[in-house]
């Protein structure tokens, strides 16, 4: 039996606890006067109430209404509303004259019971808010009082060493007079039924059994007593002894014949109610327990201690099950059952009641269809398994597995072939291959530390280690593949065996059958189970959701759950699952969303059209997904919101919808965006409409000039004159070639010299003379003015009138999707799509209907990219001379210019230094590294720079007489947009992880110099890794942190060893370095090595106190039994002699990295960091850029 911690919080001392009956809420009353409301599933504090003065000792939640009651040392009982929209204190009940110890709501009546140190129990009516009964009789503090879950009884426990049972049936029949001065009438409504005497000291808690006539009590005499009641008397049944300090509380287990207790001896104990013996003890190092509570419906318990609370289970609720074709084999209540998914037939086929003890359910079940046999495993007795053949005829009396079953020890056991199964012995780290007679045929030593084994295909195993999963061939005894994952708990194979889902506590890794990773999904709450859909989508359940993930990582929510379920199979719109009580049930779902996304990913556009036409697929999530995946045309057909519809129309270039929605919205920013998109498509009619709506007269005039609309330019002149805008008048006159109009504008604004010169240079002599006269001048006054030739400033002649034409610079005809909606099917093209020299099977249709809506600059960039005009080529051919240049100009035409090189595009499109290095732009790469990470020393990065550049290019020699062609290798070969092309990924997160595993092996092998080199190289490589998703960014930061911790730890240990050689007398420094190595955040197996090394150093120096602390940390890591035995010897020596021979500078609460940073004072600022040997200490940096 294990204590499975589900939630833990740190706070002031917890004195009271109460579960919400239906929601995942837990109320905790604290010694500092606060009441906290926790969501124990999400691990978040929902709210807190702070109106009590002094400690709050009692708390309870109403079984059906959103009410909370609390009682405290301020003598008050308070009732609270816990609805999210109005959490507040509703009223306060006054009457107690001393501390209130416990409070509780009645399960039916509007009653509240409270127990107090004033030696009374009060029952309150929460509706009238009056006290309706006072139970007197105890002669000391009353520590607890509780209603019976079904009958009209109350049980109370007091420091007068008695437990009393009260009959309150009179309260239900009539309500007493509650007027002042009539409290004596309360006695007629409640009587003491039993007084239970047997405790030698005060009784702290008493509780009824939920169904049986039993009472359990816990007292300061360190005993737990079990009492039985009848109609006429009550008597003591037995006593549970084992606590060695006061017992704070005890409860009956709601499902099993167990008693749970907590005490001030810092333990939680589980007792067998029948045998009255202790089954299990769970110790806490420093915290006394004060209160214990159980959930009214679920297998959940909570205990409050000195520094917070803990929510836990006593058994795993996940039932052991396995699926074969349409039959589900599962274990419920220690019986193997067979459930037909089609007919719903559910029958028991085998009893496994003697597998382990009665309170530990089997952990796994493996089915062999060829022999119709099963293997069940259990965690009892350090791991056991049982191989049993199932009866061929279902029905009749169930056979017990011990009759002909074959049993053995092992933590995991699974079938790997028709007549073979594998057993993992975790303690000895051996895998045994056994036949059906349970005889060993082969023994295998796993290549890594293995925590669990799973089916990996015929004659293959998946080995789960703390950091990876290995595909292991049993016949060849070699590792076929490996993938880095957190510790894997469950493995789910797809129906065709091509994909596998590796489920960890908070992550799911989707991989193919050779463990090539497809995607990694992170969840913030626990992942419970998963199953594959027939279409290749993985559905999984968390504590409160059923979700899905596509093979490439796109995921979403299907529905919410009231309680967790364990998925067994997904068929169409139905999910088959097991609930917490291991009962089969089905859940109906709507698979439209994930099937729609899957069809888009697989370019199955017939399926896309079918879903759009037959289902109501709407919502912001699907629209955001379509925008993210560059399908705005499809998103446009789902959206009704005008603003979103306009954004999508502009994005996909649908000017008709854009104009319609812009008119409806009628905001200047919308018209401006529409004008920009229309200009890209050359639709000047829409541009004209947008400029008119925003009254953008200057741009409108220039548009009329470009389209040759002379009549409209004349109108613009009149509009400018009526507006009094002289600059606009001048521009319009200039565009229209109206010289006199320009002169009139200059005269009107008083610029007579400019007006005179304009008239003179355009041959208007009479008008020039008139301007002189107007200014009061003569020709003689103008002799010193320079003479100018005739003006040639005239508007260009109109070659073709285009006011009624559009001249598209970007094709935007009827797109693929619109055609398909009209026709009802996808039009097949006669020619296969071809893109960048690669057959476009994956993007054939997409290019047809998306290419029409690309932006104009993307088309121009594609044309330019086709020239492949590198700077080096231009310089190499510069010597050809002017003749060649003239020829090129003649061929290309006037205005031709070289295109943008691929390398320059890479530099433009990426903020990552690695992409700049790949482009050959080392200077900008170094600038980025300096700005983002503070790198100042680049010598160590030179080999990486060169290798990345070489890996990003290939060279092809088409002919021996020609120099080779440089080919740029792209990351996304299907991408044709010049604004999105980027170079190939040379270093990735997965490649870095492979290097990290090599470094780990070096640490394990004590090759610390090699490990230091590899860890430093990994840090260097991580600077040149390109991040494409937020998940990768989190993983990148995690890798940087882990690598820095290991590099620091290895450096500390190497420095210590150097110190031992050079200064053997400097013991104090040796001790400091040894102990701080143990404070680096290392993996458990490496931390064990560091702790064992430090324990040896401290024991040798007679620093027994610190050695004992290190030994305790080593024991907490649960190493091998031999190591634990030695550590316990050191711990015992430290407890006998808790002194240190040498005082050292050591703070056990400071981690190594914090210490390292504290040792970098201000005088080191500006110097090179000795850890990575790249960055400047104190240099400002912007950090990792956003994923692209």
Q: Give the model confidence (pLDDT) of 81-93 as tens digits.
A: 998 887 899 999 9
| Residue 1153 pLDDT | 64
E-strand ranges in 341-429 read 346-351, 364-368, 373-378, 384-389, 406-409, 412-417, 420-425
Phi, psi at 847, each rounded to 5°: -65, -35
Contacts of 1158 (CB under 8 A, 6+ apart): none
**962 burial type by CB count under 10 A (0-12 exposed, 13-18 middle, 19+ buried):** exposed
- Residue 187 scores a pLDDT above 60: no
Identify the CA nearest to 364 among candidates 372, 348, 352: 352
pLDDT of residue 619: 59
- The pLDDT of residue 888 is 35
Token pair, residue 428, equals 């000895």
Residues 6 or more apart whose CB falls under 8 angstroms from that of 631 comprise 600, 850
Q: Which residues contact 142 (CB under 8 A, 6 or more apart)?
A: 101, 115, 116, 117, 119, 120, 121, 156, 157, 158, 159
Stretch 148-177: mean pLDDT, rounded?
87
Identify the pLDDT of residue 810: 53
Report the pLDDT averaged over residues 886-893.
Answer: 40
What 3-state DSSP class applies to 82?
Answer: coil
What is the C-alpha to C-alpha distance for residues 68 and 80, in angstroms, rounded to an integer? 5
Q: Do the beta carbons of residue 1175 and residue 1168 sit within 8 Å?
A: yes
The pLDDT confidence band at residue 320, using thresholds 50, 70 and 90, is very high
pLDDT digits (tens, 9 = 90+) for 800-827: 667 667 765 554 445 555 555 445 444 4
CB 684 within 8 A of CB 677: no
Q: Which of 205, 197, 203, 195 is nearest to 294 (CA)?
A: 205
Q: What percent of the chain has pLDDT over 90?
A: 35
Mean pLDDT throughout 1119-1126? 88
pLDDT given at position 848: 37
Residue 302 has pLDDT above 90, yes or no: yes
The radius of gyration computed from the CA coordinates of the chain, to the nearest angstrom, equals: 41
pLDDT of residue 333: 85
What separation in angstroms does the CA of 258 have from each of 236, 253, 475, 813? 17, 5, 47, 75
CA-closest candidate to residue 70, choices 99, 97, 41: 99
Average pLDDT over residues 259-280: 92
Across 155-164, 1035-1044, 1160-1169, least confident range: 1160-1169
Check: CB of residue 543 under 8 Å from CB of residue 562: no
- pLDDT of amino acid 290: 95
Contacts 24+ apart (CB under 8 A), 800-803: 800/708, 801/708, 802/684, 802/707, 802/708, 803/707, 803/708, 803/709, 803/712
CA distances from 653 to 645, 683, 862 (A): 12, 11, 19
pLDDT at 886 over 50: no
**Within 13 Å and on the Cβ side, how many CA atoms surround 274?**
3
pLDDT score recorded for residue 140: 94
pLDDT given at position 857: 38
Q: Give the C-alpha separation, 69 to 998, whole Å.
A: 58
pLDDT of residue 681: 82
pLDDT confidence of 852, banded at 50, 70, 90?
Answer: very low
Q: pLDDT by residue (tens digit) across 771-798?
A: 887 877 777 667 667 777 777 777 777 7
Select the highest-mean-pLDDT range: 201-210, 1014-1023, 1067-1076: 201-210
Residue 229: is its pLDDT beyond 90? yes
Query: Distance between CA atoms of 381 and 315, rounded to whole angstroms?
Result: 15
CA-based nearest residue to 994, from 960, 1017, 1028, 970 = 1017
Question: Who's near 586: CB < 8 A, 6+ residues apart?
Answer: 574, 575, 576, 577
DSSP category for residue 1131: H
Percent of the chain with pLDDT over 70: 86
Cα–Cα distance for residue pair 704/376, rounded to 1 Å: 84
**Could you report the per-residue pLDDT of 723-762, keeping only the tens digit for each?**
888 888 888 888 888 888 888 888 888 888 888 888 888 8
Q: Report yes or no: 674 and 650 within 8 Å, Cβ to Cβ.
A: yes
Q: Which residue has the tokens 């993307």?
A: 858
* 352 touches 335 (CB < 8 A): yes
Q: Facing residues of 155 across strands?
A: 146, 165
pLDDT of residue 224: 96
Measured between alpha carbons, how far is 689 from 696 in angstroms, rounded to an integer?
A: 10
Question: Whole-structure pTM over 0.85, yes or no?
Answer: no
Residue 769 pLDDT level (bands cut at 50, 70, 90): confident
Task: Determine the Cα angle at 763 with ends 758 and 769, to 5°.
Answer: 70
Determine contact, residues 317/300, Cβ cutoff 8 Å.
Answer: no
In DSSP terms, 376 is beta-bridged to 365, 386
Note the pLDDT of residue 850.
Answer: 33
Q: Which long-range contacts (CB under 8 A, 24 or more apart) does 1177-1185 make?
A: 1179/930, 1179/934, 1179/936, 1180/934, 1181/931, 1181/932, 1181/933, 1181/934, 1182/931, 1182/932, 1183/932, 1183/933, 1184/932, 1184/1027, 1184/1033, 1184/1036, 1184/1037, 1185/911, 1185/912, 1185/932, 1185/1027
Q: How far is Cα 1071 from Cα 892, in angstroms, rounded to an integer? A: 78
660-703, pLDDT tens digit by residue? 888 888 888 989 888 888 888 888 888 888 888 888 888 888 88
Phi-psi region of 282 (alpha: psi -120 to 50; beta: other; left: phi over 0): beta
Q: Which residue has the tokens 């010897």?
A: 1129
Half-sphere exposure (CA, 13 Å, Cβ side) for 56?
A: 31
Kindly state the average pLDDT of the residues 450-462. 91
306-to-71, 249, 385, 746, 786 alpha-carbon distances in Å: 19, 15, 40, 89, 99
Looking up tokens 């007084």, which residue turns up? 195
Exposure b/e, 699-730, CB count within 10 A at least 16 = b: bbbbbbbebbbbebbbebbebbbeeeeeebbb
pLDDT of 767 reads 84
Q: Is the pLDDT of residue 828 over 60?
A: no
Contact status, residue 146 vs residue 121, Cβ threshold 8 Å: no
Task: Reply yes or no on whether the pLDDT at 329 is more than 70.
Answer: yes
> What residues have CB less than 8 Å from 144, skipping those under 6 apart?
101, 102, 115, 156, 157, 204, 205, 206, 207
546-562 per-position pLDDT tens digit: 999 998 888 889 999 88
Task: Tell me the per-residue pLDDT of 1146-1184, one tens digit each, with 9 for 90 and over.
Answer: 777 666 666 555 544 445 666 777 788 888 887 788 777
- pLDDT-derived band at 462 (thresholds 50, 70, 90) equals very high
Per-residue confidence (pLDDT) for residue 507, from 0 to 100: 94
Per-residue exposure over 175-196, b if at least 16 CB sit within 10 Å of its own CB, e if not: ebeeeeeebeebeebbebbbeb
- In the predicted model, is pLDDT for residue 838 greater than 60? no
Tell me, what's the pLDDT at 175? 58
User: Which region among 158-167, 181-190, 404-413 has the lowest average model confidence (pLDDT)?
Assistant: 181-190
Output the 3-class SS for 529-589. EEEECCCCCEEEEECCEEEEECCCCCEEEEEECCCCCEEEEEECCEEEEECCCCCEEEEEC
Res 453 pLDDT > 60: yes
The lowest-confidence range among 476-490, 868-882, 981-995, 1061-1075 is 868-882
pLDDT at 1152: 61
Confidence of residue 422 (pLDDT cuts 50, 70, 90): very high
Q: What is the mean pLDDT of the chain?
A: 83
The residue with greater pLDDT, 972 or 589, is 589
CA atoms 1054, 1059, 1060, 1066: torsion sign: negative
Report the C-alpha gap between 970 and 960 in whole angstroms. 26
* Tens digit of each residue's pLDDT (9 = 90 or more) over 132-144: 999 999 999 999 9
Q: What is the mean pLDDT of residues 574-597?
A: 90
Sequence-distant (6+) residues with CB within 8 A of 609 are 820, 821, 824, 825, 826
Asked if residue 35 has pLDDT above 60, the reply is yes
Q: What is the largest CA-CA distance in the chain?
A: 139
Give the pLDDT confidence score for residue 713 in this predicted structure: 83
pLDDT of residue 859: 40
* Tens of pLDDT, residues 624-650: 677 676 676 676 666 677 787 788 778
Give the per-residue pLDDT at 862.
36
Q: What are the tokens at 524?
A: 């913030």
């Amino acid at each position: 039996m294990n204590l499975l911690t589900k939630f833990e919080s740190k706070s002031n001392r917890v004195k009271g606890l109460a579960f919400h009956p239906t929601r995942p809420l837990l109320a905790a009353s604290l010694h500092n006067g606060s009441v906290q409301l926790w969501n124990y599933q999400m691990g978040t504090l929902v709210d807190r109430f702070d109106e009590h003065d002094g400690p709050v000792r009692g708390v309870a939640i109403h079984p059906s209404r959103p009410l909370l009651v609390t009682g405290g040392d301020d003598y008050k009982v308070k009732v609270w509303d816990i609805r999210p929209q109005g959490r507040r204190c509703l009223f306060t009940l006054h009457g107690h004259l001393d501390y209130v110890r416990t409070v509780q709501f009645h399960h039916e009546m509007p009653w509240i019971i409270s127990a107090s140190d004033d030696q009374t129990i009060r029952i309150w009516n929460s509706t009238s808010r009056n006290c309706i009964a006072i139970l007197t009789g105890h002669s000391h503090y009353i520590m607890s009082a509780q209603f019976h879950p079904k009958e009209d009884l109350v049980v109370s426990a007091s420091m007068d060493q008695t437990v009393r049972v009260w009959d309150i049936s009179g309260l239900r029949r009539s309500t007493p007079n509650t007027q002042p001065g009539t409290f004596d009438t309360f006695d007629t409504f409640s009587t003491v039924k039993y007084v239970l005497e047997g405790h030698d000291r005060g009784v702290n808690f008493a509780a009824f059994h939920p169904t049986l006539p039993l009472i359990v009590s816990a007292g300061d005499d360190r005993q737990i007593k079990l009492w039985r009641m009848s109609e006429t008397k009550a008597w003591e049944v037995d006593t549970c002894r084992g606590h060695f300090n006061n017992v704070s509380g005890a409860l009956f287990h709601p499902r099993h014949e167990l008693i749970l207790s907590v005490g001030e001896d810092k333990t939680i104990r589980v007792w067998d109610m029948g045998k009255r013996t202790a089954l299990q003890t769970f110790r806490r190092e420093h915290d006394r327990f004060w209160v214990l509570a159980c959930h009214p419906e679920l297998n959940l318990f909570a205990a409050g201690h000195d520094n917070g609370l803990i929510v836990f289970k006593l058994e795993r609720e996940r039932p052991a099950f396995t699926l074969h074709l349409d039959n589900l084999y599962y274990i419920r209540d220690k019986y193997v059952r067979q459930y037909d998914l089609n007919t719903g037939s559910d029958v028991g086929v085998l009893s496994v009641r003697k597998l382990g003890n009665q309170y530990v359910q089997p952990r796994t079940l493996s089915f062999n269809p060829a022999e119709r046999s099963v293997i069940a495993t259990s965690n009892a007795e350090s791991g056991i398994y049982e191989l049993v053949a199932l009866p061929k005829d279902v029905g009749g009396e169930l056979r017990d597995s011990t009759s002909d079953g074959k049993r053995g020890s092992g933590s995991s056991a699974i079938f790997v072939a028709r007549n073979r199964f594998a057993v993992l012995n975790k303690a000895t780290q051996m895998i045994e291959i056994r036949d059906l007679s349970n005889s060993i045929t082969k023994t295998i030593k796993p290549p890594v530390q293995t925590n669990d084994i799973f089916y990996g295909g015929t004659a293959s195993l998946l080995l789960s280690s703390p950091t990876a999963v290995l595909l292991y061939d049993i016949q060849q005894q070699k590792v076929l593949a490996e993938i880095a994952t957190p510790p894997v708990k469950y493995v789910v194979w797809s129906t065709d065996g091509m994909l596998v889902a590796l489920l960890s506590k908070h992550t799911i890794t989707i991989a193919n059958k050779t463990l090539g990773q497809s995607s990694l999904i992170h969840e913030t709450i626990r992942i419970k189970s998963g199953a594959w859909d027939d279409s290749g989508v993985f559905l999984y359940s968390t504590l409160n959701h059923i979700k899905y993930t596509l093979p490439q990582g796109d995921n979403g929510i299907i529905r919410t759950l009231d309680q967790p379920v364990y998925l067994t199979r997904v068929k169409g719109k139905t999910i088959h699952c097991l609930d917490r009580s291991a009962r089969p049930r089905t859940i109906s779902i709507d698979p439209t969303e994930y099937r729609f996304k899957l069809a888009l990913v697989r370019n199955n556009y017939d399926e896309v059209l079918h879903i759009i036409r037959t289902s109501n697929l709407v919502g912001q999530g699907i629209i955001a997904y379509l925008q993210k995946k560059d399908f705005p045309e499809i998103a446009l057909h789902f959206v009704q919101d005008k603003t979103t519809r306009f954004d999508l129309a502009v994005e996909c270039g649908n000017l008709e919808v854009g104009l319609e929605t812009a008119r409806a919205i009628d905001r200047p920013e919308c018209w401006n965006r529409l004008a920009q998109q229309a200009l890209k498509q050359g639709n000047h009619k829409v541009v004209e409409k947008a400029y008119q709506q925003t009254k953008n007269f200057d741009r409108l005039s220039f548009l009329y000039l470009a389209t040759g609309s002379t009549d409209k330019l004349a109108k613009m002149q009149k509009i400018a004159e009526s507006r009094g805008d002289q600059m606009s008048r001048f521009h319009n006159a200039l565009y229209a070639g109206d010289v006199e109009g320009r002169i009139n504008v200059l005269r009107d604004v008083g610029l007579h010299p400019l007006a005179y010169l304009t008239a003179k240079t355009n041959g208007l002599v009479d008008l020039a003379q008139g301007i002189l006269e107007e200014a009061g001048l003569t020709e003689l006054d103008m002799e010193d003015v320079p003479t100018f030739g005739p003006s040639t400033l005239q508007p260009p002649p109109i070659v073709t009138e285009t006011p009624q034409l559009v001249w598209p610079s970007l094709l935007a005809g009827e797109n693929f999707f619109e055609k398909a909606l009209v026709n009802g099917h996808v039009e097949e093209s006669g020619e296969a799509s071809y893109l960048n020299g690669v057959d476009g099977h994956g993007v054939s249709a997409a290019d047809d209907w998306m290419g029409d809506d690309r932006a104009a600059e993307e088309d121009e960039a594609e044309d330019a990219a086709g020239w492949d005009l590198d700077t080096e080529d231009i310089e190499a051919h510069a010597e050809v001379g002017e003749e060649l240049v003239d020829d090129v100009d003649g061929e290309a035409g006037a205005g031709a210019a070289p295109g943008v090189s691929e390398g320059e595009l890479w530099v433009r499109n990426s903020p990552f230094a690695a992409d700049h290095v790949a482009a050959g732009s080392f200077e900008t790469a170094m600038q980025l590294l300096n700005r983002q990470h503070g790198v100042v020393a680049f010598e160590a990065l030179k080999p990486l720079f060169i290798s990345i550049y070489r890996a990003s290019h290939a060279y092809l020699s088409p002919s021996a007489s020609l120099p080779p062609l440089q080919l740029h290798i792209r990351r996304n070969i299907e991408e044709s947009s010049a604004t999105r092309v980027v170079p190939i990924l040379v270093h990735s997160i997965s490649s870095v992880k492979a290097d990290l595993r090599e470094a780990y092996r070096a640490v394990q092998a004590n090759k610390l110099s090699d490990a230091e080199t590899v860890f430093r190289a990994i840090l260097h490589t991580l600077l040149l890794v390109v991040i494409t998703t937020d998940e990768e960014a989190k993983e990148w930061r995690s890798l940087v942190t882990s690598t820095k911790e290991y590099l620091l730890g290895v450096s500390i240990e190497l420095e210590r060893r150097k110190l031992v050689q050079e200064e053997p007398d400097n013991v104090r420094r040796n001790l400091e370095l040894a102990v701080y190595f143990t404070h680096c955040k290392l993996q458990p197996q490496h931390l064990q090595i560091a702790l064992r090394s430090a324990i040896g150093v401290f024991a040798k120096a007679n620093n027994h106190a610190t050695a004992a602390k290190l030994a305790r940390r080593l024991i907490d890591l649960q190493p091998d039994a031999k190591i634990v035995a030695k550590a316990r010897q050191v711990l015992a020596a430290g407890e006998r002699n808790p002194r240190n021979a040498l005082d050292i500078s050591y703070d056990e609460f400071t981690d190594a990295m914090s210490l390292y940073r504290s040792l970098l004072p201000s005088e080191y600022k500006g110097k090179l960091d000795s850890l990575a040997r790249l960055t400047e200490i104190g240099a400002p940096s912007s950090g990792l850029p956003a994923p692209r």
